[in-house]
Amino acid sequence: MDSPGDSEGPRPPGGDGPPGGAMETSRRLSREQIFVLISAASINLGSMMCYSILGPFFPKEAEKKGASNTVIGMIFGCYALFDFLASLVFGKYLVQIGAKFMFVAGMFVSGAVTVLFGLLDQVPEGAVFIAMCFLLRITDAISFEAAITASSSILAKAFPNNVATVLGSLETFSGLGLVLGPPLGGFLYQSFGYEVPFIFLGCIVLLMVPLNMYILPNYESDKGKHSFWKLITLPKVAFLSFVITSFSSCFGFLEPTLSLFVLEKFNLPAGYVGLVFLGLALSYAISSPLVGLLSDKMPHLRKWLLVFGNLTLAGCYMLLGPAPFLHIKSQLWLLVLILVINGISAGTGLIPTFPEILSCAHENGFEEGLSTLGLVSGLFGAMWSVGAFVGPTLGGFLYEKIGFEWAAALQGLWALTSGLVMGLFYLLEHSRRRRRSELQNILGTEEERTALLSDER
């Protein structure tokens, strides 16, 4: 089986392709590709651990400092909002800023901010503490998005023919970060106090900075002539953006609701709630690289993997409660099983979206290079951030008003709608392309007939 570095492919005009011969192939990963993978894995793992470390103990500490539950929710929620804004800016200006500089600077600031978060217990309580929380959380969101946007663009540049495989494989490290962050943070907090978890993880991220400065290749590219507006107004890209937001909101919905539901419904000790989330995170992390590999080896399946993932995800959310109209008794083993299937379906539907958007952009005249990759990476991050904001916000509101069972069912309707819309779009696209092909064949036959008649005369 070919490795992700099998074929570098022809170098795009303007020297935008990866180093090496234009049609050079290799059955092994190049040294440069290995370095890119190490860099991307380090930011995925480190940033996700830093992001998820707050959950187990920060809300309690913030309450001690005079922050209300509403303010704590806003501190968490502002991350997604500024993530969204930063995605659009960094995606647009990736080439001007420089992908390597954006990656390294984002990682450095994210690590430093994580360390500073550990010093917040020294800040006076009340308005000063709350203001510092917002400032650090916003800075972390901007720096994280800078590194992730650059990382996705560099990966797609280094692996032009295996984008889905590589992005899917690296989602394993994102999943590991989300899984390891809360228990590691909780253990360090219980053993050493508030400061140590942040300082420990922040220093690990900072130590990765000089390593990435040394090993990460520096790709150059010309400034692109296209904009986010032109990309998002492509019908296919608009529908795919809706799909990304749907998946993100489904993940975000579980953040404020699932733990409360499990504690209330099954009377589990608080320490066991994290194990319930483990099934979702691990199944997503394991399935993502497999889906990515399948997506790259059989590109014609991408669209149907995407549709199938959406529809399966919708079914999972109907069964999470389960929805009252199904008349199924809620049981812990069923909940865990559905969360595992939820993770697999999320990987199945989400991983193909990036290469689908990228191929659509190229088909519509976007140049092959870092400028387009920056736009696609920024758009993906922006749409993910929209869902990450809407999911928890709407989920918390619906949970309070109508309960987890009905709230999860309504969330499933979003995934169902995006799956049906994409399925219908792909069917229409297939029909339109078939008609165009038949018309071209007819025109070609008529031209040949006309040429033969001219020769006979």
Q: How far apart are CA 365 and CA 375, in angstroms?
A: 14
Is the preceding peptide bond at 322 cis, omega within 30 degrees of 0?
yes
Specify whether the CB–CB gap between 28 and 37 falls below 8 A: no
Rounded (10°) CA dihedral 158, 163, 165, 168: 110
Single-letter code of the amino acid located at 234:
L
CA atoms within 13 A on the CB side of 442: 6
CA dist 54 and 47 (Å) reads: 12
Selection from 283, 232, 276 nearest residue 254 by Cα: 276
The tokens describing 336, both together, are 């865990």
**Mean pLDDT score across all residues of the chain:** 80
Using only C-alpha atoms, what is the Rg of the chain? 24
**103: pLDDT confidence band, cut at 50, 70 and 90?**
very high
Least confident of 120-129, 152-161, 243-252: 152-161
Pick from 124-133, 211-220, 371-380, 448-457: least confident: 448-457
Predicted local distance difference test score (pLDDT) of residue 168: 81
Residue 443's pLDDT is 67
Average pLDDT over every residue of 382-389: 86
Question: What is the pLDDT, as a whole number, of residue 453?
Answer: 61
Single-letter amino acid, residue 6? D
108-122, 334-348, 424-438: least confident range: 424-438
Predicted local distance difference test score (pLDDT) of residue 11: 33
> Which position has the higher pLDDT, 54 or 323?
323
pLDDT tens digits along 254-269: 877 787 788 788 877 6
pLDDT for 231: 85
* Span 154-178, average pLDDT: 81
pLDDT recorded at residue 445: 66
Residue 23 has pLDDT above 50, yes or no: no
What domains lie within the chain, and their CATH numbers?
30-220 (1.20.1250.20), 222-443 (1.20.1250.20)
Determine what percent of the chain is predicted with pLDDT higher than 90: 15
* Element containing residue 284 per DSSP (H, E): helix 270-297
pLDDT class of 311 with cuts at 50, 70, 90:
very high
Rounded alpha-carbon distances, angstroms, from residue 342 to 212, 349, 407, 436: 34, 11, 16, 38
At residue 444 the predicted structure's pLDDT band, cuts being 50, 70 and 90, is low
The model's confidence at residue 416, banded by pLDDT at 50, 70 and 90, is: very high
* Least confident interval from 82-96, 236-250, 303-317: 82-96
Is 141 a residue whose pLDDT tops 80? yes
User: Which tokens belong to 39?
Assistant: 């860099």
Q: Is residue 448's pLDDT more than 70?
A: no
Summarize the confidence of residues 161-168 as an average pLDDT. 80
3-class secondary structure for 16-73?
Answer: CCCCCCCCCECCCCCHHHHHHHHHHHHHHHHHHHHHHCCCCCHHHHHHHCCCCHHHHH
* pLDDT score of 229 more than 50: yes
Best mean pLDDT range from 25-39, 107-121, 354-368 = 107-121
Confidence check: pLDDT of 19 > 50: no
Higher per-residue confidence, 219 vs 301: 301
Report the C-alpha gap between 112 and 96 in whole angstroms. Answer: 24
Q: What is the pLDDT of residues 425-434, one digit of tens each?
A: 888 888 887 7
Mean pLDDT of 277-281: 79
**pLDDT > 50? residue 9:** no
| 430 vs 106, residue with greater confidence | 106
Confidence label for 56 from pLDDT (cuts 50, 70 and 90): low
CA distance 311 to 309: 6
pLDDT at 16: 40
